[in-house]
Structure 1
Amino acid sequence: MVMEPLPSFEDLVRLFGAEPTYADGGPPAEGAYGWRYPWPYTSVKFEAVLVRLQLTGVRTVGVDRAKGRELLRVEFPDEASAATLWLRMKPDVALRWAYDSTS
């Protein structure tokens, strides 16, 4: 399965139940790439009550749908001590994340 480095904008809005805020105060101008242009300084911020994640070194982000629920999947490079992070917002908030404390 080929995995996109970012989920669709619509998937993220549906998962978090809110529009994002942008680092520069507004969405980028529409163009060939829009908000998904993969530059290090491209930044959007989705906020949800009870959960605040500040992650760096992320390889991919995706939204998985299973059994009527939507999960945010955050994957890290193979050499990172962090394993895949799973976040569910509805019907309740659940966070699952493991890491290798020996590395």
Structure 2
Amino acid sequence: MEPLPSYEDLVWLFEAEPVRHPAGEPWPYTSVTFRTTRAGYDIEMDIEPGYQAVRLRVHTVAGHKLIDLDLEGVLSVGIERIEDRESLRVEFPDDSPASTLWFQMKPDVTVTWSHNPGS
């Protein structure tokens, strides 16, 4: 995954320290799981930079599954701060059918995904 998301930026976005798998391994040589609640939704993201993998899950606070995306071949992950919006940006390689996934966490929880029509 290049560039790597900043660990500090991810902590800022999720407003919480992640769980590391295995515990004690340094970023980015580990898998981490971030959890937070936004606008009535429980949000969880697992990220494994060495395997270019990201998993995003969204549940209602009552436990109903809304989104479960297991993303592989991720090129990069970044954080976007535009005015009052806070978003996670997931990029895929140019030759991938997927292009950019935007996962906005504030002020509302929204998902926008673009694709490469030529792939």
Is TM-score (shorter-chain normalized) higher than 0.5? Answer: yes
Structure showing the higher strand proportion among its residues? 2
Aligned to 2:24: 27
- Cα separation, partners in 2 of 1:20 and 1:54, compared to 1, 3 Å: farther
Q: 1:99 Cα shift?
A: 3.1
Does 1:18 pair with 2:16?
yes
> How far does the alpha carbon of each residue in 1:10-42 deviate from its partner, in whole angstroms, 9 at most, with x for none?
211121222211221x232xxxxx4024xxxx3
User: What is the TM-score normalised by the length of structure 2?
Assistant: 0.64
Aligned to 1:67: 83
Q: 1:81 Cα shift?
A: 0.6
Does 1:90 pair with 2:82?
no
Which of 3, 6, 24 aligns to 2:4? It is 6
The 8 Å contact of residues 80 and 87 in structure 2, kept in 1 or not, is answered as yes
Amino acid at match of 1:22: R
- Cα separation, partners in 2 of 1:92 and 1:77, compared to 1, 3 Å: same
User: What is the TM-score normalised by the length of structure 1?
Assistant: 0.72
Q: Which runs of 5+ in 2 are unaligned?
A: 37-41, 44-55, 58-68
Alignment size in residue pairs: 90
Higher relative contact order (CA 8 A, sep 6+): 1
Amino acid at match of 1:74: V
Percent of aligned pairs with the same residue? 53
Structure 2 CA distance, aligned partners of 1:22 and 1:90? 25
Structure 1 CA distance, aligned partners of 2:76 and 2:82? 19
